[in-house]
Structures are given as structure tokens and as C-alpha cells.
Amino acid sequence: MFEKSTWIRLPRNVVVGHGVIDQVVDVIDDLQLQGRPLFVTSPTPREVAAEPIVTAFEATGVEPAVVTIEKATFDAVERVIETANAEDVSYLVGIGGGKAIDIAKMASYHLEMGFCSVPTAASHDGIVSNRGSVPDGDTRHSVAAEPPLAVIADTEILANAPWELTTAGCADIISNYTAVMDWRLAHRLKNVEYSEYAAALAEMTAEILVDNADLIRPGLEESAWVVTKALMSSGVAMSIAGSSRPASGAEHLFSHQLDRLAPDAALHGHQVGVGSIMTAYLHGGERGIWRDIRNALASIDAPTTADGLGIDDKTVIEALTTCHEIRDRYTILGDGMDERAAREVATKTGVID
């Protein structure tokens, strides 16, 4: 008796390219979203992206409500929900980097309203995925959220974002290699549900990015194109899997733990990249692919050491030995690393010296 079923939720419109910010009104029209939108943005994206979109909407006789958030917190989510209710809006648009989009995504999930994503930085795969993450005290919560109905990614705007945000997006994609290794391991050992399609797509996305590493250079719109398409593809892999497994393994646990131990020290993508070097070593030993991962990161200017992250060695070791406790996600870290073993992997891979 066959009893499996799956429900794959994907964005309906994905628009990427030069100047596509001018098409936001058309994309919303195409989705047949009616009524008033609520824009969720942060200070810089407000200027470069949200204001022109407000003007475009006003020209059609629709006046969007706007909330500008400074920090990604649960309070900010609350504020967006309150504004949505008070202003009688019917859908949300997140315009900005990770922060604004995560907040809009989580608020729309709570409000049971549609949500569109207009990223202004290609810094992580949250711009397409159906998960949001927000710091809460000294922890970070990854929670269920709405996948966007549409993603509108203007490569001209993305290319002008700070370069380190783009390299962080690349590193987040490169970490798919180890995320998929952890997923397979968890499938074999713990019977975790596994999708061959999602795993293959996540790996292939990382491979294409690494193959195109030469194109990834500061200020080049082509770079924004390559990275954004990879982030979309990674998001689709997560949608097919119905979980973040294809793009999130032990290297993500390591990064989440760094967020608690050294808040705001480094970007998410950069932390997972360094984590990925070490967990690749744990998977494959000396002859594994850890060097390929390290070289790929180095070739796109992403950090490969604790120093490069601006995080001290002790904190790296502490994160390695404790991050398995963060959530119930089986990875190569098993029930936790011994401190000497952690020091050894970090030293052998050159993450610490």
C-alpha cells in the first residue's frame, strides 16, 4: 500500500535581472493580489529600493503602508503585525537584506497573508526559503514561515550591495556540500526523510557556483546574477525537501552557536563557510573535499579562518563542541565533539593555528 504524499510550496513568480525593480507592480498584478500592501524594509534598502516601489504603486492609485525596522527581533515582527492590522493591508512585501525579509516572512505567516520578497543583497538563501530566523535573547530561532509568492531580485541593486554580503551568499551556497553529506548520514543512521531530487539540486547548485567562481567579482552585475540564481535554486531544493536539510547541516549549527557566543561578529554565510571546511574534514578526513571547499571560499574572498571571521580560537572550539545541542538535527557531530578532537580538526584545516 503506497501511503506517501508531499506538498511542495514554491514561489510562483521569480524575476531576476537588470532593472527588474521597475516590474514589482506588474508582478503583484500578475499574482492578482488586491488591496493595500505593507512594505517591510530597513534604513538603507528603504532609500535604494522601497521608495521607488512606493512611487510606482502611488502612480496606480495604491498607497502602500511602510514599516522600517532596525533590528531583526520578535518585537519587530510584533510591530509589523500590529501595523498590518491597523493599516488594513492585504499582503506584505519584504524589501531589504536578510533582516527585513525574515521579518516580513514571519509576520505574513502569522497574519495568514501573502508575501513577496525583494532582496537588496544576495547574502543568504532566506530570500527564497520558507523559513525565517530571528534572534531571541542569546539564541536564534528558526521558525516556519511563508514561502514568498514572488521573488524580485534586481541585479543592479544587488551588485551595489557591500561585497562581503555577496561573498557571504556564495559561502552559504558552498556549504550545501556538507549539508547534503549530513543529510545522507542522518538518513542512513536515523532514517531521516531524504529526497534524492532535493539533494542532487542542492549539490549541483554549489557545483555550478564553484565552476563560475571566476565570474564572481566586486561590482559586477554578472556576479549578482550567478549568486542570486544559486540562492533561488537552493531555496527550491529546500521547498522540494520540505525542510532546510539540503542547505543546512552541522556547519549551520556551528554558525548558529557562534551567533550566541559572539553576536554580530561575522556574517551568517561566512560562518557557515568556515564551519563547512571543518565538517567536510570530519566527513572525509585528510583526503576528503575540505580543501576544495576552502579553496572555493578563498577564491571568492570569503574567510577560511577564525581570524578571518574576527572570532577567537577559543570561541570556535566552544561552538564546535556545543552546537549539536542547539536543535534536534542529526549530523556528523553526533552527540557532540570532544574538545581535543575539535581542536584537532580546527588546527588541521587551518581554521585556527
Residue 150 vs 272, nearer CB to Zn ion = 272
CB 122 within 8 A of CB 227: yes
Separation of alpha carbons 17 and 330, rounded Å: 38
100 is in an annotated binding site: yes
Chain contacts with Zn ion (rule: CB under 5 A): 124, 172
292 marked among binding-site residues: no
Our CB check for Zn ion shows the closer of 46 and 105 to be 105
| 212 or 244: CB nearest Zn ion | 244
Rg (CA), the chain: 20
Supply the minimum distance, in Å, between the C-beta of residue 279 and Zn ion.
14
Residue 182 counted as an annotated binding residue: no
Shortest distance, position 327 Cβ to Zn ion, whole Å: 14
> Nearest-5° angle of CA 101, CA 107, CA 110?
145
172 is in an annotated binding site: yes
Cell of 163: 561585497
3-state SS assignment for residue 133:
strand
Is 313 known as a binding-site position?
no
Please report how close the Cβ of residue 119 comes to Zn ion at its closest, in angstroms.
14
Nearer to Zn ion, 25 or 208 (CB): 208
Q: Tell me if 21 is assigned to a ligand binding site.
A: no
Q: Which three cell numbers stand for residue 337?
A: 565533539
- Write the DSSP assignment of 118-181 as a string of letters: EESS---GGGTSSEEEEEETTEEEEEE-PPPSEEEEEHHHHHTS-HHHHHHHHHHHHTHHHHHH
| Shortest CB 340 distance to Zn ion, Å | 29
What is the nearest approach in angstroms of Zn ion to the Cβ of residue 231?
A: 10
Taking the C-alpha atoms of residue 281 and residue 348, their distance in angstroms, rounded to an integer, is 9
* Angstrom distance (rounded) from CA 275 to CA 255: 7
88 annotated among ligand-binding-site residues: no
β pairing state of 139-144 and 131-136: antiparallel
**Closest residue to Zn ion: CB criterion:** 172
The single-letter DSSP state of residue 333 is T
CB-nearer residue toward Zn ion: 146 or 172: 172
The nearest distance, CB 79 to Zn ion, in angstroms, is 25
> Which residues sit opposite 115 in a β-bridge?
92
> 139 φ, ψ to 5°?
-120, 175
Cell of 120: 537588496
Nearer to Zn ion, 46 or 131 (CB): 131
Question: Which parts are annotated binding residues?
Answer: 98-102, 120-123, 125, 129, 172, 252, 256, 268
Question: Which parts are annotated binding residues for NAD(+)?
Answer: 98-102, 120-123, 129
Question: Which parts are annotated binding residues for Zn(2+)?
Answer: 172, 252, 268
Question: Which parts are annotated binding residues for glycerol?
Answer: 125, 172, 252, 268
